[in-house]
Chains A and B, each alone.
Chain A
């Protein structure tokens, strides 16, 4: 069994998450061999005949797209690993700026630019937008998470290498959260730095913008357990993915409105910095953008003006 891990527009954290299997990786490596992974070994190109290829990162430039197509052609099973691959992730936020602004920021306005301002000629051009890998090629399995958490991968990877299927929870982050709903009095929306949340009670009920209800599980509600509200790094929950009339924004607004007995429009108007609070991990996904009620299109338009 040959395994490969390809890197596109991402931070390589997902590959490190695979290494976070710790001793368990030895069991995996008894049955499988890692033949290609730019982060952990020095092989320049993926070989032919890969059994399982993991692809991490979004597709943002021409090189990413070419690499994705190559790994698809050479792998029997292609797995989107991590939120960038599955939904565009943080790389998708780049669409809040124009391509020219991005290029200037990365290649012209840095200290390391050549004295005469020459730009290297081998810089791959940006595509007109960011893509999740599923928007470009056929993907066999999706494992979201930024990065996918160790406990989840411990269940998935050995089974995948053995050719087994595992049955895992497909609910939201709230289903893994130990908090209960506290009293809701004088509800006002709070920024994360305001006050200190009561660790016993639901963060949303206390006024903190927690994306737990609209986010896929698999992290053990790690952030709420540390008194930090969920920022949705696992991507949308299945009900949101499934149904065109549901979106991260409108379902969050609906739940706040129902909890607080305030009109939805009033709640929606109070939400701040929607791009970074609601869609930080899903902006690059065409599945999420194509929803009629999605705010992503207008955010991209505003940002890239």
Chain B
């Protein structure tokens, strides 16, 4: 049977990539069930900036983040974090998934969830100790949830759950934060509190790449913009990238031809 290669094909990188970039994606193509959903993504995110990924529903924003974390198989391309790829960069990356991806009825407290952020540094078999518990408590305090540490997570509001996830990323003490819609369905006060934390992280030298859905606030919150619609429409500094023309190209209807071709590709390899 004819199949796309299961191992990513590493293509020689051109000179156009910035060697100092926090996140550097080269020629990344991702397929669900052989149906490509992201084509030839090629971009750099400079270190120490707040970057937004913006695009319509189904444009592959979450897919891009998951592929960067190796949570999805790649058809081709490679992803470098501070110049390194694969396992060596793992500790330097923290991930905030969408809130709906986990079961909030799970028997853990807010403090337990935040402490999970320390697991990667601990490595296999080492249990959570006093130092990790204190770090989790500090992170909860930083997002204003110190009083809720012992609560079972289903007893928290949506905004509080989102802040628990943020606190969990904080204890990872990463250099690159990948966040999937941290502002989804939170109230204005929570959104402001989250933005404050993101800015504080950036001021401490971290790089943040955030899936964002609100065009009203994107220029206010972020300084780097990635416009995505199955491929990168534009990527660069906010003022230069947030243009009417780019937005039209991103939101101006789905890429019907590309989508038809992708569906056909999915069928092609299955009908044999």
Q: Do A and B originate from a single complex?
A: no
